[in-house]
Structure 1
Amino acid sequence: MHPRDQIVMIIDKIYRQGMTTTSGGNISIMDENGDMWVTPSAVDKGNLRAADIMCVKKDGTIVGPHKPSSEYPFHKAIFDARPEFKAVIHAHPPALVSFSIARVVPDVNVMPYTRKYCGKVGFAPYGLPGSDELGEKIAAQFVKGDDGVIMENHGTVVAGTDMLDAYRRFESFEYCSRTIINAKTLGDCKTLTDAQHEAYLAKVSVQLPEMASAEHPSCEKGIRKEIVDILQRSCRQNMMAGSFGTVSVRWKGNDFVITPADMMRWDIEVEDLVQIKDGHREAGKTPDATVRLHQEIYKRHPHVNSIITTPAPYLMGFGVAHKKFDVRTIPESWIFLQDVNNYAFGDHDKVVSVLGNDTPVVIVENEMVVVTSDKLLQTFDKLEVAEFSAMSLVQGGVIGQLQPIGNAEIEDLRKKFLG
């Protein structure tokens, strides 16, 4: 894909995900000739076309119908400082701007996913936008080995080996920041130690053996289409980042189809999904790292036919704060979710043991929420209800003392809706 098209695709995604404004932010790619392709200045980010993207040639010549972004000097400074980077994203996403204003660097060690994708993060003192001084301050952090930088009272800038790598880092960084803010609103933010992280990686990195061949009857193909639809919907609803979150559906017996590892969720096609059969993975494919957890849930719970695992930012506010998520907010929340409890980071054996008809949803601290049900749409609905309820609790806490539904009302709901 031409750099122009890559830039248009990513800026559109950033804009539609609410991570930049019409006039804010800029993106660039350094091509193999040493020419820099960059977003234009003062052109609507919600309606950019490939023809709008500017080129700053290696010799400094500017080609295109507009002015290049006024920030392109610091993009060039990053490329000069770290030649391995070929893409830069700068924007003003709300959560990261909050850290920028507070002059605090988010601790990306709150979850394995954010630690993996965000990389090393630094802080650059304030500089006049578009100035050489700002470029020097930012480049100095990248020289130190940072992969992303909080810009004092400005926003953030990240770089990647290609545009997808940069976007993955940018999105994960904002996702991480949202989760931290939600956790701190609830009380505190717990992070993972190096030992916890290494133990987790050792546990989830063990691959299932490959199967010799896979069959794909029409019923299995239908499941694949349903999973792709729910993955895209989850990303649109901001309950799953492009880089992390998993969906699986039981196919037959204890066999199932699951999200692959290390693919952007909104890019996944039906043929990318991974079939798991008799404890073996489809040849030539790698399932998501949570595959063994999904496998054990299906084995233990015959009534569960679909699973979603994701670090949805409001739910994980509770998971990172290690706070109880009380679903007794409105009748719908309790009917759909009943009681939702927290379990220790990485304790998948406990999670498998507690799931059941009365416990369709659990939170694994600093890792994910696990949602189960019969049909995939029901599972997604429960995830939505859970995330919306968590959002109401996080936001409602600043209004006043929250008043949950009482025990008598819960008992009435139990008798009427759950038999």
Structure 2
Amino acid sequence: MGTTSMARDLPGAKPANSGVSTERLARLDAAMQTEIDEHKKAGIIVLLARHGKVVHHKAYGMANIEAGKPMQKDSLVRLYSMTKPLTSVALLTLYEQGKFQLTDTLDKYIPEMKDLQVFNGENAYGVMTTEEPGRKPTIQDVFRHTAGFAYGNGTSPVDLLYQQNGIGYDTSSSLKEMVTERLPRMPLLYQPGKRWVYSVSHDVQAYLVEYFSGMPYAEYLQKTILDPLDMKDTYFGVPENIVDRYTANYGPGEKGELTQIENQNGNRPRGESGSYSRYTDIPFGGSGLSATAMDYAKFAQMLLNGGELNGVRILGSKTVELMTMNHLPANIGYLTGPSAGGGYGLGVSVLADQAVAGNLGSVGQFGWGGAASTKVIMDPKEDMVAIFLTQYMPSEFSIINKWQTLVYQSIVE
């Protein structure tokens, strides 16, 4: 990292001094408040930074309706899949140490994966059939979700096998056991390099962090990213002494009303053992962190700066450049659905075609979201970090798209 100093909170600035219109930000304010007033969301936090300075950081609504706790700017939220970019950065720090190459096959470091098979349908008797992979999955495949792994949350026969074997939503095994014992027994859902499939790949990344560093994944993350960036409000689980800052998680009730869903099993992705407010049994690479908006802004600004924040260097600028370019092969094309027009880098989505995306933004912007309707955007062209945090499941993309539009329309120079 080149230094043992710590990064500070991002400084503040007046919007007008950073090319952002105060009058246009009022539109963002009004839209977020409307979500609260119409009982569509319990609480929301937004943060907008331009040129390394925070020009807008505001909380709306309630962190916990039932307890009467207002949402605060420093409220803690579940990041879910916004954990993933941190895992990728952790693994890339080891790439910079020469521990591996992106083209290395997984079985070089996980020999249990040397005989992986690929799902090839079912025969007339409903029995799964498999075939040999056209090539072996690589570490690059694991970064970009093209290895062929599944996530265990779909309806395919492979996803059902994941569920039956406790892959993806079970925390009773160790990370090593899941990656080196359970996962190799599963067939790949697709041929490596042929499809982009959202998957347990970041959990494989977390295991590789342990393999190359000789340290537990959570410990390496703390030492290499969280402590140097002074991300003092980022946790796998939340300590008891600050649990009052923790937000409740909501979803639609039977009549569409906001209903707490913390204790519903179907809303506890992997990495959560019971309540998310307790330390998770096993920190996984794909989900499980909780954080504040400011803490995540430090991480995002570090990437936007090319790997450095306030004299603290986490990655080299060329590594960030490699991370944030589109790595999807031409045969796969762009992502679809909520990430339409996007490619995928080494752990982040990358906007490749703004017209296909159909929203305001910039080609080259990168980021990712989480299952509770959260999102981060890092835009090199506009020198901007934008963060949207709420706690609502399943993820609602309409409010995220509206937030993105209102953020970008506020930029005037």
Normalised by the length of structure 1, the TM-score is 0.26
Point out which structure has higher relative CO (alpha carbons under 8 A, 6+ apart). 2
Greater helix share, structure number? 1
Q: Which has the larger Rg?
A: 1
